[in-house]
Structures are given as structure tokens and as C-alpha cells.
Structure 1
């Protein structure tokens, strides 16, 4: 389906009926007075674009029309949607998110749209959405993305119902998820506070969104005095997407010019094809892969080295206090007791199996791990504390609330969900 050239007949009635008359789509076939009103107005009159971008986010844009103004209007106080999104991206840059994740703005209401109230939740359940609608919230930040796997239709399941009701209610949906995990001062740093005073660093580092100087490859080669350096440099500089540098030096073989060509992948092939015409030069070619630099203090998981060792029993009590839980699950490492000392703790909010696997530490702290991963940790003497998935994340939302309120300069009300909770209880 091409947007902007969509025909009315190509839009299913089921999709059009998702919207209230005052929102993005309008079909009114009920109690019409005259035959001329039996037909809906041409949808192209107000519809500019409706998309499931990559099938994992919903975006709608409309051009002005004589239809009644939507409930959320720019005439009311608040902030523009893009300003709120920009504030969230400053707090947790989407570039830090894992490649498999689906972060950012997932549902974008049609303009005009002002954000006056934001609701923070760990999981966007139907109960949380009903709470948001009752509180007339415009924007929901759901730590876990409510759209994660690709959707082919918005029918049937509870997750689809949540998306449909958000669209009908003109509520924007945003998820920071693993960007919030990795960023310095994010979820994992909050969870690491449970251990007490410690030096804390990421288990591995996130990489910068950009290559050094925006180049992915460097081609280096030598040009002897007998070669036509000027012609070679001119041909290289004629290529699109390259950056050429050179310097001349004397050696036992005589005067040599060393040339460096920085380029992205598309220009690499063209550069090599050009140099292959000169066999003497081609024999000196070296191709270097440039890596994106690591981001300081950002990355998945945390390793904590305590200022003073504590017993496992003390560590468990600190964790329960920090997470406000009466119970957690504990697997003692081989040859460990509750009085065994803990100096190093590896932390991963949510599901920690893949992140913590093989990390040398006295204690693992995470929300959940598989049975066999717990056995593997215990076998090497690492004790494991499990507090259930969202219990290892939800408490961070209070810190996010304060940070986001500051970013929005108090112009938008930011509140925590009262119905969001972990689905598991100890009974």
C-alpha cells in the first residue's frame, strides 16, 4: 500500500471503524437523512498517511479538513509531541538499544496533538490503558514495548486491543526498554544500588551510533616516486563518499608516499577497483575495518565491586529493602552458606540469562533466569537472587518520573501508573 495515493476502496471497513468520528478516520452510516449522505466523504480529503511502519509502529498524519477538531487540540496547554519525544531520547538515546529491540515512538496520533499528561508504566496492560483513559492521559511511556513482534492485523488478542484503544483514544505510546537498560543512570544502575556502596561499570559497552568521522573503512597503500601520484589522487578524489589523506616519507627504498582513503562500504568496492589497475600499488594495499567507539559508562548489565564485603544474607536483605519486596528467590552457590561473603555482584534487570552467562561474580541479581542457567551459575560457586522480571525494573520509574519532569520543565504532568504490577505473586 502506498501512502498519499491510497484509494478509498483499499481501506477495509474494519480499519476505518477503529476511529471515532472526530479522530483520524470517519465513516458515518447511521441514521442518515438524505441519500447524498449515505456515502462517506473521500478518505483522501483528510488522510495523508496511515502506516504500520516496519509492522511494528503506527503513525498517522492528516491534512486539515472541515471535520470537527479532535479532542486533543493545539489550542490547549501542553507541549508538542516531538518535544516530549526529544526529552525522552535525551534521557535514554535510542541508539543505545539492542538491535533486536523495538524502542521509541510506537503510536503517533495525528496532528494537531499536544501532550499535557504522561503516564509511566512498566507494562502496558489493558488495565493500565483503562487507567490512562480515565485520567485523560495523552502519552504513555511503557518500559516494555507494547508492540514488539511484527503485527499483521489488529484483531483478537489483548495486545492488539490495547493498540486499537490507544489509537481510538488518541494516546501516544513510547517505549525506551533496552535504551534505558544501557544508559548511564538507567535501570541497571538503579538496580545496582540495591547492593550498597560499590564501584559500578557495564558488563560490556554500548557502541556509538556513528563510526569515527562517519567512516567505516580505511584503505592504506604506498605510492613510489615512479608513479603518477597526482593522477591517482585525482581519481580517488573523484569518487563519491571518500576522504583522502597522504604524506611523503623517505626510507631505504627511496621516497614513498603513504595514502589513506577513508570511506563507507559502497565506496570501498570502487576504491579497490581503481587501485587494482596499478599492480605495484595494489600489492601494498591494507584495508582496515573501523569500529564504532564504545560509549563510556553505557552498556547492558553491571558489575559491582563492593566497598566492603557483606554476607549473602545481608545482600539479600538489602535487595529486598531496595525493591520493596517481602520475598525473593535465592540459589546458594556451591559450597556457599548465608554467611558466605560477597564482594562482586553482576546485575541485569529483567531476564539476565544471556547477559550474565559466564560472568565471574560472587552473586547474580536479576529478575529471572532459566532453571538450567541457575544450575550452571551455582555449579561454579555463584549464588543467584531472582526477584521476578518486572520487579527488577519497575522501581526505576520513580527516578524516570523526576528526570522527565525536569526535562519537560514542569509543563507536562508526569505520573506513575497505579495499576501496573508484576503478574506473579508469592502465595
Structure 2
């Protein structure tokens, strides 16, 4: 497994402290009429129906405060709702948090300050902030709007992409697979550079046993997040793109002559928020301020040993 990079600078992650809303942003929020929570949820479910989510998932409105606000004016987008992100949402006067990953998944037996997820729930209830999670519903959103469709846009000519598995009821499914004509001469080094440029971060590469950086790629498959269980169903491909795989899953792919590009779990998902931000604002006729977290980040950072 190798680390492939365009420059050493890509391995340096600088996290700036989040800021409160500027005076101009505050004035912008105050000028918004806002929308009722139920109306916003309806728009979210029109975009990605909850019925499209995996059966095991916990999606939809996860936290609904007892004392609801008349109108939601500030919507806060994040990939993961950590304590730091929650504090940022409070400082930015969020009324609704849309967290791609559900902050409540395993059952909570008590709401206390000793567990970080329970602490987040208590903060939301105390501040009257609602929380909605789309997770795998976004992975299978229809009309070419899924998170995996966004991820595939990193690469050349993905118009023929199709879901890896298709739900016969919804006609959608998770993951994508697509192919290229050999005449395109799309080399593996270009594929790696394209995904790095798209997400703006370094990647890890496990090279197929017969592959080199000059290998011409004709078939690819992607699955945002942790894609091993889904991608293994795609045997006729040259490259897997996903967030994470185990050591033995990587070895198995390599010996099937499949190159695996790992971006870290949430780095295959987080960029979708910037893509979705103007869409949501448009769905709500610009009546809500939609902002993306500044401190949400993948928990893994890459450090390069200095020689």
C-alpha cells in the first residue's frame, strides 16, 4: 500500500478555529423569513426519500425539541456531529442540524454528560435545535443526485454509471460502476490525481498486482464511506474508490488485480455538503440561511516523516 500525492503540501492539514457568524451573515439570517420544520423535512425527503435508505440505518428526524421554533432560519450542514461541531452549531445559532451520519445509532440508555453522544443530544434539547440525518438515503437519491454520483464526478466521462445493486422497488441503489473505451487511454496516475484534486486531500493506494501508474483503466467502481462489502460484488473492474477497507480486504482486491484508492471514510462524503448547500437553499426559496460546518473533519490525519 502506497501513499500517492501531488505535493508534500497536501499532507499538511490545517484546521482553523471556527468563527461565529459575521455581522453581515447575522443580518442576512435576520432578513430570512425561515420555514417551518415540517416543510423543510418534506423538501429533504422529496430530494432523497427515507424509503431509499438501507433497512439497518437510522435516518430522518432524530431530535425534535419539545418547544419548537416558529420558523427555521439557520440550517447547519455537517458530515459528523461531534462535540466540537455541536458547539460550532450553537455559536452560529443553528435551528436545524443536518448531519449526514446519524449521531444517534446505537440505543442510548441515559442522557448524561458522561457520554459524548448523549451530551450532544442534551445540548440540542436545551438549545431547541432539531437534528435530521439522511445517511444512506442520500447514497441512493434518485435522478443522478446521489452522493456517489457526486463522488464519481471526480473522473472522466461517467455518464454510463449505474448502481452496483438496484432495489427493484425504488430503481436506485448504492455505489456506482462504469466503464471507458480503451481509446480514452485513461491512466491510473490520472485517476489518482483526479480524485486528489476533487477532494483536495491525499489518498492511499493499494496497487493491483499487475498494475502500474501507467496502466490504462477501463472499468471503475466507487462507494463512499466504507465500501468493501458492496464493492466485492463488482469483479470486472480495474479500480475501487472508497473511504476505507480492512487490510485483508485490500490484499484480496490486489490479488484480483484491482487497484484500491482509499480517501479515508468521511473524505469521500464531506464534499457533497458544499454541493448540496445551494440546492437546499433553492428548495427553500432562499428563505433559510444554509451553512456548512467549518470544523467538521475526518478524524484521521496524515503525518509525513521528515527525513
TM-score using structure 2 length: 0.84
2:73 maps to 1:116: yes
Aligned with 1:195: secondary structure? Answer: coil
Name the counterpart of 1:385.
261
How many Å separate the matches in 1 of 2:281 and 2:34?
13
Question: Displacement, 1:111?
Answer: 4.4
User: Is the CA contact 1:181–1:300 (under 8 Å) kept in the aligned structure 2?
Assistant: yes
Cα deviation code 1:189-239 (max 9, x no counterpart) = 01111122122110011343xxxxxxxxxxxxxxxxxxxxxxxxxxxxxxx
Name the counterpart of 2:4.
none
Stretches of structure 1 lacking an aligned partner (at least 5 in a row): 1-75, 209-293
Equivalent position to 2:90, from 130, 133, 144: 133
User: Is the CA contact 1:96–1:207 (under 8 Å) kept in the aligned structure 2?
Assistant: no
How many Å separate the matches in 1 of 2:253 and 2:137?
27
How many Å separate the matches in 2 of 1:397 and 1:378?
32
How many Å separate the matches in 2 of 1:151 and 1:412?
31
How many Å separate the matches in 1 of 2:34 and 2:154?
36
2:104 maps to 1:147: yes
Structure 1 115/130 Cα, relative in aligned 2: closer, same or farther at 3 Å?
Answer: same
How many Å separate the matches in 2 of 1:424 and 1:371?
17
User: Is the CA contact 1:122–1:420 (under 8 Å) kept in the aligned structure 2?
Assistant: yes
2:243 maps to 1:367: yes
Structure 1 315/158 Cα, relative in aligned 2: closer, same or farther at 3 Å?
Answer: same
Relative to total residues, which structure has the larger strand share, 1 or 2? 1
Name the counterpart of 1:195.
155
How many Å separate the matches in 1 of 2:207 and 2:74?
45
User: Is the CA contact 1:140–1:172 (under 8 Å) kept in the aligned structure 2?
Assistant: yes
TM-score using structure 1 length: 0.60
Name the counterpart of 2:5.
none
Structure 1 374/79 Cα, relative in aligned 2: closer, same or farther at 3 Å?
Answer: same
Stretches of structure 2 lacking an aligned partner (at least 5 in a row): 1-31
Equivalent position to 1:303, from 167, 172, 177: 177
User: Is the CA contact 2:148–2:223 (under 8 Å) kept in the aligned structure 1?
Assistant: yes
Equivalent position to 2:118, from 149, 155, 160: 160
User: Is the CA contact 1:102–1:148 (under 8 Å) kept in the aligned structure 2?
Assistant: yes
Name the counterpart of 2:194.
318
User: Is the CA contact 1:92–1:180 (under 8 Å) kept in the aligned structure 2?
Assistant: yes
Q: Which has the larger radius of gyration?
A: 1
Question: Displacement, 1:400?
Answer: 1.1
How many Å separate the matches in 1 of 2:177 and 2:111?
41
User: Is the CA contact 1:79–1:412 (under 8 Å) kept in the aligned structure 2?
Assistant: yes
Question: Displacement, 1:77?
Answer: 3.6
Matches within 5 A, 1:277-426: 294-295=170-171, 298-306=172-180, 308-325=184-201, 327-360=202-235, 361-426=237-302
Alignment length, in residue pairs? 264
User: Is the CA contact 2:80–2:103 (under 8 Å) kept in the aligned structure 1?
Assistant: yes
Name the counterpart of 1:79.
35
Runs of 4+ that moved beyond 6 A: none
Question: Displacement, 1:339?
Answer: 0.7
Aligned with 1:329: secondary structure? Answer: strand
